[in-house]
Chains A and B, each alone.
Chain A
């Protein structure tokens, strides 16, 4: 069966510091991968998605970037964190091939920028 991991689970960082959040998926090949952010406990916003290694699409302009160095690894980064980057970050995957495939989420990373 498929499993999705995220780390760290929680993170407290000062403003201006760098960020690296990691997501890995097990038990599937060539998944579609997604990064979402949830602010204030309501509604998730899609940040990035990837349909293959090195292929990243951004949904909203922001202080963050994403990379996919391996088939089942998705990384969210920032060079300098802002207060507004605080939130709950969730990684998700779906099977490749069809846009209507069911999506599954990881446990999330709670980021606080001070």
Chain B
């Protein structure tokens, strides 16, 4: 099946710093989502971005499907950005929307 690799596995920042999280995937996808898992375990949808670029406030994401990677940018980080960021991808055909998750990036933002 499709493989998803996220980097870095851990990231520690000071408040106000910028960061880039990367997601590499091994095959063509027709679904790519970025999630933030908060301390209570809730998965919050950040972006649905199988291709192209999107921005939402201090967060933006870019997916280059032909090169099989996606990037999540966090600017002017805040302590509330701390948590685990997951990339998840879905293939086409008879996949029925099933997502394969990366192992996540644990982000810690210090005041």
Number of interface residues of A (CB under 8 A): 29
B95 at the interface (CB under 8 A from A): yes
A34 at the interface (CB under 8 A from B): yes
How many B residues touch the partner, as a band? 20 to 34
Q: Are B41 and A46 in contact (CB under 8 A)?
A: no
Interface of B is mostly: loop
CA–CA, A89 to B35, complex, Å? 16
Q: With A43-B102, A108-B41 as given contacts, are A102 and B96 in contact (CB-CB < 8 Å)?
A: no
A88 at the interface (CB under 8 A from B): yes
Q: Are B99 and A103 in contact (CB under 8 A)?
A: yes
Give which listed residue, A44, A90, A101, A108, contacts B97 with CB less than 8 A.
A101
A residues bordering B, Cβ < 8 Å?
A: 32, 34, 36, 38, 41-46, 49, 51, 57, 59, 88, 90, 92, 94, 98-105, 107-108, 110
B residues bordering A, Cβ < 8 Å?
A: 30-31, 33, 35, 40-43, 45, 48, 50, 84, 86, 88, 90-104
